[in-house]
A and B are shown apart, each in its own frame.
Chain A
Amino acid sequence: MADLTTNTAVEPRGPKLKKAFSRTNIFLYGTLIMVSMYYLLPLYVMIVTSLKGMPEIRLGNVFGPPMDITFEPWVRAWSEACTGINCDGLSRGFGNSVRILIPSVLLSIAIASVNGYALSNWKFKGSEVFFTILIIGAFIPYQTMLYPIVIMLREMGLMGSIWGLVLVHTVFGMPILTLLFRNYFSSIPEELFKAARVDGAGFWQIYFQIMVPMALPIFVVAIILQVTGIWNDFLFGVIYTKPATYPMTVQLNNIVNSVQGVKEYNVNMAATLLTGLVPLVIYFASGKLFVRGIAAGAVKG
C-alpha cells in the first residue's frame, strides 16, 4: 500500500494532449466538470440552506441562492437546537467531541508509535505474531466486539464516560497506526539504530532522541488520520457514551432526526455544516498529507 501512496506526487503519465479544444479535450473537461457538480452539490445546498430563513425554504428552491442572508440558523444550531428536553444546541456535543478527541489522539499515537518502534527495531519472539493478529483484527466487523467491550468497560467502571470512549478509540486506532509507524521506522537505516546502541543508548533514549525527531512527518499524518477518524465516529459514540457525553456526530443525528417539533431545515443544515467543519478544515489545510493519511488508513477499510 505504501508504494502506491508515495507515487501520487509524480507527474501525470498519460499521453499528452496537443490541441486545446480537441473533441477529446472537450469531452474530458465536460465529464470532469459535470462530475464535480455532483460532488459539490451537497456542500453548496447545505451552505445556501443554512443561510436562508424558514419562509424562504418553504417557498421552495433548494438550489437557489439565499435572497436575504441570515446567520440566525447558525446561532440557533450552536446554542439552541433541541435534542429531547435539552435545548443547549450543538455546543455541548462540540465540547464533548473535543474532550474525547484530544486524549484519544494523544494516547493512541503515543502507544502506536512506541509499538511500531518496538516492532521494527526491538523485535522479540512472537512480536510479528501479535502484529499479524492486530492487522487481521482491523478487518473484524466492530459489531462482533461491541458487547465484550461493553462488559470490559463496565468492569473498569468506564462505561458511559469520556475515558471509556477514549480507550475504545485507542484500541481501534491501534492496527492502522501501528502499521503506519512500523513501516516508517523500518525505512530508517538500521546503521543509525546500531550506532546509537553502540553508544549505549537504551530503548527510550533512542525512541525520544532519534526516532521521534525523524518521524515528525508521519506523526502529522497520524494526527490527521486520527482527528478526522475520531471526530467522524458515530458507532462507538452512540454505544459507549450516555446523552450527557454524546460526541457531536451523535448529537447532530439526534437533533436532525428528532421527531418532535417543527423541522427547521436551515438550523439542521447549519448544524450539519458545523459538525463537518473540523474535518473539512483539516482536509483543505493539510492537502497532500491527508491523501497520505487516508491511503495508509485505507488498509483499515
Chain B
Amino acid sequence: MTVPSVPPTLSGKRPSKLFKNWMAKMASLPMILTALVVFVGGTAWTVTYSFTGSRMLPRTKWVGLDQYERLWSSDRWMISITNLGIYGICSLILTLFIGFTLAACLDRKIRFEGVFRSIFLYPFALSFVVTGLAWQWILNPDFGMQSVVRDWGWTAFNFDPLNNPDIVMFGLLIAGIWQGSGLIMCIMLAGLRGIDEDIWKAAKVDGIGTVKTYIMVVIPMMRPVFVTALVLIAAGIIKLYDLVVAQTGGGPGLSSEVPAKYVIELMFRAQNLGQGFAASTMMLCSVVIILIPWAYLEFGGRKRG
C-alpha cells in the first residue's frame, strides 16, 4: 500500500499535505509539466517575445506593438488572412452541408450503409500531404482533369486552380473537403441516431414532408452536434498548413498563402522571429474568439436540451 511516507529529511510532526497521495502526484508529473511548461509557459513566452525586435535569435529588445503594425501592413499577411477567410467560410458551409446531407442519406435505412460510410470516411485516415499531392495530380492542367474533359470534346473547359491565382483557394477547398467532410458526417450521423424516432411518426401524422422535418425539427434538435462540428471545422481551418505546402506550396506567387504558413516561413526561413511570434499570437487570438462563445454555449447556459 502506498502509505504516504514522510522522507526523513522533512522532519515534520505530521505528514505534510504535499505528500498525501504522492504516488499519484509523481505519476501526473508529465501531465503537470506539459500543461504548465509547454502549454502555458510556451504560449506566454511566444506572446511576450512578440513585443520584441527578435530577428535571428530571440532578444529582449522591447519594441511595443511595432511587430503587429508591421504584420498588418504586410501584403503577404493580408493575402494570408483573406485566403483563410475565403477558404474558411466556404469550407465551413460546404463541410456542414455535405456532412449533414450524407449523414441524413445514410440514416434513411439504406442498404450498404457500412460500405458508403467507409468510403466517405477513408480520406480522413490519410495525411494532408497525401491529400494535397493526390489532388495536385488530378488538378494538373496538362495531364489531369482539365485535359481529360477537353479530350472528351469540351475544348473550352477551363479549370486549372493550381495555376490560376484567382481560384487557387478553391483547388485547396476541393481537397480539404474531400479529406475532412467524412469526420463531420460521422459526427452528424451519431447525432441523428440520438434523435427520438417518434419525431418521424409525429411529423407523418402532421403531414410534414421529410425535407421539411429535417430542416424544421431535426436540425434545431441537433444544435449541440452542430456546435461541436463547427468548433472542429474552425479549429481545423486555422491550422491549415500541410495541405497548402503539399498541394500548392503557397503559389502561384503568394496567392495561396495562409497564416500558419506565414508563421513558419518567418520563424524558420526568413529568420524574422518577432514577426512569426506576432503572427502566431494573432492565430491564438482567433482561436480564443472562436472558443469563448463555444465554451459559453457548452458550459455556460444550463438550458440547452
Given contacts A171-B38, A284-B122, A202 and B23 within 8 Å (CB-CB)? yes
In the assembled complex, A29 has its CB within 8 A of some CB on chain B: yes
A→B interface (CB under 8 Å): 1, 3-5, 7-8, 10, 12-17, 24, 28-29, 31-32, 35-36, 38-43, 45-46, 49, 57-58, 60-63, 111, 114-115, 117-119, 122-125, 127, 130-131, 133-134, 136-137, 139-149, 151-152, 170-171, 174, 178, 200-204, 228, 231-235, 239, 249-250, 252-253, 256-257, 265, 268-269, 272, 275-276, 279-280, 282-284, 287, 290-291, 294-295, 298, 301
Smallest Cβ distance from A142 to chain B, in angstroms?
A: 7
A-B contact pairs, 21 of them (CB 8 A): A8-B190, A12-B109, A17-B110, A36-B119, A45-B134, A111-B31, A118-B28, A122-B21, A127-B24, A134-B31, A137-B40, A141-B260, A145-B46, A147-B46, A148-B41, A202-B2, A234-B241, A235-B264, A256-B136, A279-B125, A291-B121
Rounded to whole angstroms, the CA-CA distance of A114 and B136 in the bound complex is 43
Contact across chains for B133 and A268 when beta carbons are under 8 A apart: yes
In the assembled complex, B51 has its CB within 8 A of some CB on chain A: no
In the assembled complex, B144 has its CB within 8 A of some CB on chain A: yes
Q: Which residues of B contact A249 (CB under 8 A)?
A: 127, 129-130, 242
Contact across chains for B120 and A301 when beta carbons are under 8 A apart: no
Smallest Cβ distance from B29 to chain A, in angstroms?
A: 9
In the assembled complex, B223 has its CB within 8 A of some CB on chain A: no
Given contacts A124-B21, A144-B280, A144-B283, A16 and B143 within 8 Å (CB-CB)? no
Chain B 105-147 against A: per-residue CB contact (8 Å), 1 yes, 0 no?
Answer: 1111110010010111111111111110111111010011101
Contact across chains for B27 and A282 when beta carbons are under 8 A apart: no
Rounded to whole angstroms, the CA-CA distance of A239 and B120 in the bound complex is 32
Q: Interface residues of B: mostly helix, strand, loop or mixed?
A: helix
Query: With contacts A4-B194, A36-B116 known, what are 12 further pairs, Cβ within 8 A?
Result: A8-B193, A114-B27, A118-B24, A130-B31, A142-B239, A143-B260, A145-B43, A171-B34, A231-B127, A235-B264, A275-B127, A294-B186
Contact across chains for B273 and A147 when beta carbons are under 8 A apart: yes
Q: Which residues of A contact B129 (CB under 8 A)?
A: 232, 234, 249-250, 252-253, 275
Contact across chains for A144 and B130 when beta carbons are under 8 A apart: no
In the assembled complex, B225 has its CB within 8 A of some CB on chain A: yes
In the assembled complex, B169 has its CB within 8 A of some CB on chain A: no
Q: Tell me which of B31, B137, B234 contacts A178 (CB under 8 A).
A: B31
Rounded to whole angstroms, the CA-CA distance of A45 and B304 in the bound complex is 46
Given contacts A12-B193, A147-B277, A58 and B143 within 8 Å (CB-CB)? yes
Contact across chains for B122 and A232 when beta carbons are under 8 A apart: no
Q: Which residues of A contact B116 (CB under 8 A)?
A: 32, 36
Which among B27, B43, B204 has the greatest number of chain A C-beta atoms within 10 A?
B27
Contact across chains for B127 and A143 when beta carbons are under 8 A apart: no
Smallest Cβ distance from B8 to chain A, in angstroms?
A: 21
Given contacts A8-B190, A276-B130, A290 and B1 within 8 Å (CB-CB)? no
Given contacts A60-B143, A145-B43, A283-B122, A46 and B35 within 8 Å (CB-CB)? no
Smallest Cβ distance from B70 to chain A, in angstroms?
A: 18
Contact across chains for A134 and B35 when beta carbons are under 8 A apart: yes
Contact across chains for A295 and B187 when beta carbons are under 8 A apart: yes
Contact across chains for A174 and B2 when beta carbons are under 8 A apart: no
Rounded to whole angstroms, the CA-CA distance of A288 and B15 in the bound complex is 49
In the assembled complex, B84 has its CB within 8 A of some CB on chain A: no
Contact across chains for A279 and B190 when beta carbons are under 8 A apart: no
Rounded to whole angstroms, the CA-CA distance of A112 and B201 in the bound complex is 45
Contact across chains for B239 and A140 when beta carbons are under 8 A apart: no
In the assembled complex, B39 has its CB within 8 A of some CB on chain A: yes
Interface size bucket, B side?
35 or more
Contact across chains for B27 and A14 when beta carbons are under 8 A apart: no
Which among B39, B110, B267, B268 has the greatest number of chain A C-beta atoms within 10 A?
B39
Contact across chains for A39 and B264 when beta carbons are under 8 A apart: no
Rounded to whole angstroms, the CA-CA distance of A142 and B240 in the bound complex is 11
Contact across chains for B119 and A234 when beta carbons are under 8 A apart: no
Contact across chains for A17 and B183 when beta carbons are under 8 A apart: no
Smallest Cβ distance from A133 to chain B, in angstroms?
A: 4
Contact across chains for A265 and B189 when beta carbons are under 8 A apart: no
Rounded to whole angstroms, the CA-CA distance of A253 and B128 in the bound complex is 10
Rounded to whole angstroms, the CA-CA distance of A149 and B39 in the bound complex is 10
Contact across chains for A139 and B143 when beta carbons are under 8 A apart: no
Rounded to whole angstroms, the CA-CA distance of A39 and B183 in the bound complex is 13
Q: Which residues of B contact A151 (CB under 8 A)?
A: 58
Q: Which residues of A contact B122 (CB under 8 A)?
A: 39, 43, 280, 283-284
- Contacting A at CB under 8 A, from B174-212, are 178, 182-183, 186-187, 189-195, 197, 200, 204, 210
Which among B119, B133, B140 has the greatest number of chain A C-beta atoms within 10 A?
B133
Smallest Cβ distance from B17 to chain A, in angstroms?
A: 8
Rounded to whole angstroms, the CA-CA distance of A297 and B34 in the bound complex is 18
Smallest Cβ distance from B88 to chain A, in angstroms?
A: 14
In the assembled complex, B154 has its CB within 8 A of some CB on chain A: no
Contact across chains for B28 and A115 when beta carbons are under 8 A apart: yes
Smallest Cβ distance from A109 to chain B, in angstroms?
A: 12
Listed from nearest, the 8 A-B pairs whose CB atoms lie closest are A301-B235, A137-B39, A232-B127, A122-B24, A148-B42, A283-B125, A145-B42, A203-B23
In the assembled complex, B65 has its CB within 8 A of some CB on chain A: no
